[in-house]
Structure 1
Amino acid sequence: MIAVLLTAVMTVGCQSLWNGGTNVRTTDTAEKSGTGELRTGLEPLTKRFPALDDVEQARWMSGTLGSDRAPGPSTYWIDAVVTLPESKIDELKSAYAPESTGKSPEVVEGLRAELPTGTFLTSDRLDQAFSHDKWFAKAYLVPDRRALVLVATGT
């Protein structure tokens, strides 16, 4: 009886979708949840992202990914729009050679109005400059607005 129950649970948990003759496993993307508070404090950002050592101002939101019903450690997210000195923007462009993405970063609804207008530049090397320890960041520069957008997750 236990073997039958275990098999049923595993079958449901590992279901796949048959798509055009190809067996494709599907998963839902973990949703961002948080308080909805638009924050402006710099210390939580500079503490987690040392490369933001000279940020002038920031607008950001944070929270956890997925459901709080699941046991275990949480995965946190931070979406931020920060203003940097022009010299820092020039330094980042020179050091990491970001290129146009052709689209805006995907941030939480409450931060979308804060996204700067302009061309978003990114590169793997720029992402790595803001990723460290247990944080992975996707970084986007908007040089004309002296802006950097971070979309980060970590533990």
Structure 2
Amino acid sequence: MGDMAGPGRRGVLAFGAVVVLAACTSTAKSADGAKVRTDLEPLERRFAALGALSGAHWLGTALGTDSRMSVPGPTDVRVVGTAQLRAGAVAAIMGAPQRSFQSETPRQLPGELAEFMPKGARWVRSDSFDSEMTGGTYPGAFYLDPGTDTVYFDTTNPSVSASSGP
């Protein structure tokens, strides 16, 4: 009886793996584009120092979710996307001498956001500006394109700015 259970069990496990993979693939395909958000309020509350935003396209995705975990715990959320700043806002941000912006291209761009990135952008980034934006309370990178007054942000668990109220 033990010999018969082995192959049968392996067959069931292999079939289960195929079903899980197929389910993941079909879910990913149907979710493309649907997850992209355009609401501004959550971004403006978290990134108040950028001022008024428009034309936002962003994702809020849970990181490190593992269905095998037996104890529920806090989930890290990656908030990543682009938004348009007021005309001249990027030049004003870059004008502060302590910020020392350098050319740098965003990494790990989610495929769902590729079509919303400005064509021919010349991204710049500053560690000191990132620190100002995050207040040192969460990881985040803010890339700016002076030509289009666009920001690309890639953050984890961005907290609401203290100056924006509750």
Q: CA deviation at 1:135?
A: 3.0
Rounded Cα–Cα distance in structure 2 between residues aligned with 1:151 and 1:127: 10
> Is the contact between residue 131 and residue 137 of structure 1 (CA under 8 Å) also seen in structure 2?
yes
More helix by share: 2
The aligned amino acid for 2:64 is: G
Deviations 1:20-51 (A, max 9, x none): xxxxxxxxxxxxx9x65111100011122222
Deviations 1:60-85 (A, max 9, x none): 11111012423310000111101011
**Alignment CA distance shift 1:154-1:134 (3 Å):** farther
Identity %: 25
Partner-residue secondary structure (3-state), 2:147: helix
Match of 2:150 in 1: 147
Rounded Cα–Cα distance in structure 1 between residues aligned with 2:50 and 2:142: 12
TM-score by length of 2: 0.65
Rounded Cα–Cα distance in structure 2 between residues aligned with 1:121 and 1:133: 20
TM-score by length of 1: 0.69
Gaps of 5+ in 2: 1-27, 159-166
Q: CA deviation at 1:104?
A: 3.5
Deviations 1:102-151 (A, max 9, x none): x3432211012211222110010121122137432101011101111000
Rounded Cα–Cα distance in structure 1 between residues aligned with 2:126 and 2:138: 17
The structure 1 residue matched to 2:51, chosen from 50, 53, 60, is: 53
More strand by share: 1
Give the count of matched residue pairs: 121
